[in-house]
Amino acid sequence: MTSDLHAYTTEISGFAGDPIEVYTAIPDGATFGSVAVIHHMPGFDEQTKEIVRKFAAHGYGAAMANLYSREAPGASPDDAAAAARARGGVPDERLVGDVAAVAGFLRSQGGSNGKVGVIGYCSGGRQSVLAACSLDLDAAVDCYGAFVVVDPPSDHPLSTVSALTPILGNLSCPLLGLFGADDQYPSVEQTETLRALLTEHAKEFEFHTFEGAGHAFFAVERPSYRPEVAVAGWNLIWDFFGRHLS
Amino acid sequence: MCTYNTETLELTGSAKGATGWFRATNASVYFDHPVHHPAGHALMIDVLNPERGASARVGLELDADSARALAEAILRTLASVPAQLIEH
């Protein structure tokens, strides 16, 4: 499925009413489910904007907030990521508020069927689970998010991140997890812990751990890219969102 | 993985970035995914002046061996300088 689409950058009110930059891509002439895309820690970059357009090309409304809008409005993605990092990163509460704003923005689009899923990569994978445990969503995809069931191996005072174990019982929607068998964060042991916790909470989920892949196997511009795994992963995403967002 | 942990420090000096020279006031040091260096992770150094905006930045992405060699070269250089030349 390949749709014509319209992509543009706009501004919406995010957490606490703050103005945040949003990149969105909407398929032409159809009713659609929607996907809130969460960018990775390197920021609101070209590669993640391409992912937003990919969802629209497959018939989904998609939008991504610039999570660093406040720290570095108008800056290049790498400078913005550095500025946000120097200030301690993105607090979880703010992330949830920004994703809620993006979900509302997508639901307000003329062709929306009212359903919204969320997807994130790397740090965004953890944030996708965080959003799905904090907001009423219809589907969530976690692409190799670390620190979902363990805290980061650092007690640095600037670290704003901790495990999501206490809120996993609040997961509001089915979760698709895509992981690499060679990844250490999250390790296979950690994703198995997550599997056990979600089973305990009677949550709907499906996990796929790919042999021959480590972290960031979807990232086409990085040496971690694994073409065959990425293609298989995308097909699982189309199947999953097709079932839950249509 | 994104490591999240970041060392930050204040410093005094100047740096030349994309828009020319600026007074450098802060730095971040971390080991995480690089933007440009073709590796999964790198030792990252940002030299910054937050008051001048996010683009007042010089970024370095180094593999671990290079980062250690650079750090040792800095310390060797400083150790070899006559003490009276070093201003505080």
Record: contact B3-A152, CB cut-off 8 A: yes
Query: How many domains would you assign to chain B?
Result: 1
- Does the residue B65 lie in any domain? yes
Confidence band of B84 (pLDDT split at 50, 70, 90): confident
- Does the residue B2 lie in any domain? no
Record: contact B1-A146, CB cut-off 8 A: yes
- Does the residue B49 lie in any domain? yes
Q: Which residue of B has its CA nearest to A143?
A: B1
Find out whether A58 and A1 touch, Cβ atoms under 8 Å.
yes
Q: Is the pLDDT of residue B35 over 70?
A: yes
Instruction: Give the integer Cα–Cα distance in Å for A65 and A80.
Output: 13
Find out whether A132 and A145 touch, Cβ atoms under 8 Å.
no
- Does the residue B69 lie in any domain? yes
Percent of chain B with pLDDT over 90: 80
Ordered by where they begin, the domains of chain A are 5-244 (3.40.50.1820)
pLDDT of A156: 54
CA distances from A197 to A44, A143, A176, A202, B68 (A): 32, 18, 15, 9, 41
Record: contact B54-A215, CB cut-off 8 A: no
Enumerate the residues of chain A whose CB falls inside 8 A of the CB of residue B7: 156
Instruction: Give the integer Cα–Cα distance in Å for A145 and A9.
Output: 26
Q: Which residue of A has its CA nearest to B10?
A: A86
Select the more confidently predicted residue: B79 or B1: B79
A51: amino acid identity, one letter: I
Nearest to A78 among B32, B53, B59 (CB): B59
DSSP string, A58-114: TT-EEEEE-TTTTTSTT--HHHHHHHHHHTT---HHHHHHHHHHHHHHHHTSTTEEE
- Does the residue B20 lie in any domain? yes
- Does the residue B13 lie in any domain? yes
- Does the residue B75 lie in any domain? yes
- Does the residue B18 lie in any domain? yes
- Nearest-CA distance from B31 to chain A in Å? 12
Number of neighbouring beta carbons within 10 Å of residue A8: 9
Tens of each residue's pLDDT in chain A, 246 residues: 667 999 999 999 999 999 999 999 999 987 999 999 999 999 999 999 999 999 999 999 999 999 999 999 989 999 999 999 998 899 999 999 999 999 999 999 999 999 999 999 999 999 999 999 999 999 999 999 999 999 887 655 446 789 999 999 999 999 999 999 999 999 999 999 999 999 999 999 999 999 999 999 999 989 999 999 999 999 999 999 999 999
Structural tokens at position A33: 């489910």
A234 membership: H or E segment, kind and range: helix A227-244
pLDDT of A97: 98
Q: Write the DSSP symbol of residue A176.
A: E
DSSP string, B15-70: EEETTEEEEEEEEEEEEE--SSSSSS-EEEEEEE-GGG-TTSEEEEEE-HHHHHHH
Nearest to B8 among A86, A123, A154 (CB): A86
Q: Which residue of B has its CA nearest to A74?
A: B54
Enumerate the residues of chain A whose CB falls inside 8 A of the CB of residue B2: 40-41, 122-123, 146
Range of the domain at B11: 7-82
Nearest to B8 among A158, A185, A222 (CB): A158
